[in-house]
Structure 1
């Protein structure tokens, strides 16, 4: 496997490396029973974060304010500006962490960190990684935290936009009836079957396979071994080299974790449906399927 995750020990050894930029991408998500509530992790960052880490606000700075749906990825030029503001150059090694996916959840896939990981790759920066286990694992191991806010000068990041990593609504409409495309729903089985009220419409896009992102991480936030991952993903068809994969979820977050896992397994023909169910369900002509 390739290794889109770095270990806490590796990062501890590189805390003062000037070529490494650490980003805290924490967002807090809470299941309210009538949808999902998300809030930036800026206050938590101010209280405690990894030494030399900068806060990357996914909800404000790294989402398109002019888009119809929340969490829409920034246009490339706007992303470049935000990356530069964090002191990032084309030669910077970027390591991203968060504090876990959902408040009170038991699974530990760092899908907020993987969301920003995907955005960096979308803008042509491959020297980007997620911290396995995120801040919870770091803190559990007794590694240092601080409330000091680091200073930086503007970076010179340029990047090159990679549209093949981005799926639009029209791409998903094609995938519904195209057997050469695997349409992967990354939400829980309950969400997939239509048993929850977490999203605007219940269920899943027709033709989807369900691979829950939370099953693709160990209880410490690491990736399971290659054999275990392949066993979980083979039935979906996503590992067949002649097929394209489009991952989606509710708002384009969990889908990026599955994209990261597929990247780790050597699959490059993988796009994330950025709008996901939030966009798809807004058009009442777009079908949704339930299994209740």
Structure 2
């Protein structure tokens, strides 16, 4: 018999490959079984009993709007469970540089750690599971899921909502507004940005939205709001009365907040900002249009402007607050480098420093950022975290708080957030550092403040 050694070698090699594959598959299955974490549903009574315990953390995985107070996904009452922290499943979809590194830092800051029992709740049966799978890859094992609808149905169980959460609206609410599901005042939707070109607007916007150029509400060189008579013309030209529900948004939300604060100062009683900006609208897969909608004017605003004059103050009032620190505080919403005078933060502002006696209120990494007040998807950060941050800064909430930045944009957004949270006696110092630094007689400080 002739032995085909080549055929035998191939046969033996094939057998080894099959055995190897089987061995690898069995090992993979064994490892998968060993690393798989089985989460179980937790009952309401057990959840209630463990709230506040050091080795337990309650995590709201829903959209930020639900945490703030909106009743979404069929929940009877909006808001979050007491002592719950937020870690939205939406944040896992955000594409940013060093996303996982940033989310890992968020977990740590909120006390969501592997040594704790972690309860993750939602209302749609999806959000909690998505976060479970993310945490499982990070070594979390003791995880439980909970349907918050059960909690919301029991009126004896408290849910915490921000006093003015309705000022920040979800994209679903705006969509309902467009489709006549919200009944109330006449409404206007505006996309806000700087410049006449309106590139973002023309690339696609919320149906029916009209573009507002921030030059319509403020002017240089100080970049304060326009005079009251000019603001009235702006309102009439854009069809805004004191009774109009005004919804504002943008590719970046900061110009929208700037305009929102000015409208509230003027006397518009119902001003809303889309939480998370235009990105939240696109993530909701709602319709987008590209046609340029024209402004439709009205003949009367309905009240004398400003009807809410205390919402924005100018240099004389800011100097009075600076001179009497027992009654009020100038709160600096700029980067630490700007606050301490290392940089001015602006190419058109030469002076460096801060108004003497002002307190740092945090901001972001540069003059166009507000990471300290925003989540990774640019929605508003947890209110308890904002207030805790200010408490550590030594900001007394019982005093009048006048927020300022360089020219008013960052401070306007933070003022709006403070309003959402129900902080009283708050205002925007419109001129900010730009105006303060123009008069060399105004007291200025640099460097790190003295801690007393």
Question: Could you say which TM-score interval applies, normalised by the shorter chain?
Answer: 0.7 to 0.9
Helix, strand or coil: the match of 1:14?
A: helix
Aligned to 1:158: 302
The answer as to 2:192 corresponding to 1:25 is yes
Root-mean-square deviation over aligned CA pairs? 2.1
Cα gap change, 1:45 to 1:252, in 2 (>3 Å) = same
In structure 2, distance between residues paired with 1:56 and 1:159: 22
The question of whether the paired residues in 2 share the 8 Å contact of 1:63 and 1:73 is answered with: yes
Instruction: Give the alignment partner of residue 87 of structure 1, picking from 239, 255, 264.
Output: 239
Instruction: Give the alignment partner of residue 375 of structure 2, picking from 218, 221, 227.
Output: 218
The answer as to 2:431 corresponding to 1:275 is yes
The question of whether the paired residues in 2 share the 8 Å contact of 1:216 and 1:229 is answered with: yes
The question of whether the paired residues in 1 share the 8 Å contact of 2:242 and 2:269 is answered with: no
The question of whether the paired residues in 2 share the 8 Å contact of 1:25 and 1:41 is answered with: no
Q: CA deviation at 1:260?
A: 0.8
| Structure 1, unpaired ranges of 5+ | 28-38, 101-109
Higher helix share: 2
The question of whether the paired residues in 1 share the 8 Å contact of 2:242 and 2:267 is answered with: no
Greater mean deviation of Cα atoms: 140-149 or 117-126 = 140-149
Instruction: Give the alignment partner of residue 193 of structure 1, picking from 340, 346, 353.
Output: 340
Q: CA deviation at 1:200?
A: 2.5
In structure 2, distance between residues paired with 1:85 and 1:246: 30
The answer as to 2:148 corresponding to 1:5 is no
Aligned to 1:104: none
Q: CA deviation at 1:250?
A: 0.4
In structure 1, distance between residues paired with 2:279 and 2:197: 14
| Structure 2, unpaired ranges of 5+ | 1-161, 364-369
Which has the higher relative contact order, 1 or 2, with Cα contacts under 8 A spaced 6 or more apart?
A: 1
The answer as to 2:418 corresponding to 1:251 is no
Q: CA deviation at 1:281?
A: 0.9
Helix, strand or coil: the match of 2:384?
A: helix
Q: CA deviation at 1:277?
A: 1.2
State the aligned residue count.
267
Cα gap change, 1:42 to 1:152, in 2 (>3 Å) = closer
Greater mean deviation of Cα atoms: 148-157 or 81-90 = 148-157
In structure 2, distance between residues paired with 1:266 and 1:239: 14
CA offsets, 1:123-160, max 9 Å, x none?
Answer: 11120011111112322443322211224532242344
Helix, strand or coil: the match of 2:264?
A: helix
Larger Rg: 2
